[in-house]
Amino acid sequence: MISVDRGAGGATIYCMTRHNLPLAERLRMKSDRSDPDGCWPWTAASCRDGYGYLRFEGRSQLAHRLAYRIANGDFPDELKVCHTCDNPPCVNPSHLFLGTQADNTADMATKRRSTHGERSTSHLSEADVDLIHDLKARGATQRAIAARFGVNPSTVSRIVNGKRWVVKWETDHLRPL
């Protein structure tokens, strides 16, 4: 099966679906690769949520999924292709990883936390917070306390400096995710 595509400058590109090279060429033409190590934003059609797409094998497909497939081979449809750069239009394969829906949810939870300045997964209760204050008062280092509770030292720092709302916010709003 051969499909025909209009490329940059009106050149006609023949896209043979049994080979990866023409598809790779289409992806290359429709993305900005001026920074080889940076994000490669899609410059052609995109969805409302920012993901690029193009027609391939007779149907519209998400560009970042095709970019991952070209770089790494076929993968099951039910798996998600996620962005380490959190940039939906990006089709740089080195910014893409394969994950399950659960990974994707966890990834989003992590990103939501980082938006609020918190990267660690925190499961601290009010009793834990009291214990952290107690340990600190007895001379334990923030790093040692962080290791004991499995949290980021910055979390301990915020707690011992009296910013308990961070923990409260995490506990109330992030644990269900």
Q: At closest approach, how far in Å is the CB of 111 from Zn ion?
A: 14
Q: Which is nearer to Zn ion, 39 or 66 (CB)?
A: 39
Query: Nearer Cβ to Zn ion, position 108 or 177?
Result: 108
Shortest Cβ 86–Zn ion spacing (Å): 8
Q: Of 110 and 152, which has the nearer Cβ to Zn ion?
A: 110
Closer CB to Zn ion, residue 42 or residue 149? 42
82 or 90: CB nearest Zn ion? 90
Calpha distance 156→151 (Å, rounded): 8
Distance CA 122, CA 35 (A): 36
Query: What is the closest distance, in whole angstroms, from the C-beta atom of residue 81 to Zn ion in the complex?
Result: 12
Binding residues for Zn ion, per CB under 5 A? 39, 85, 87, 90, 92, 95
**Residue 90 C-beta: closest distance to Zn ion, Å:** 3
Name beta bridge partners: 90: 41
For the bound state, the minimum distance from the C-beta of residue 82 to Zn ion, rounded and expressed in Å, comes to: 11
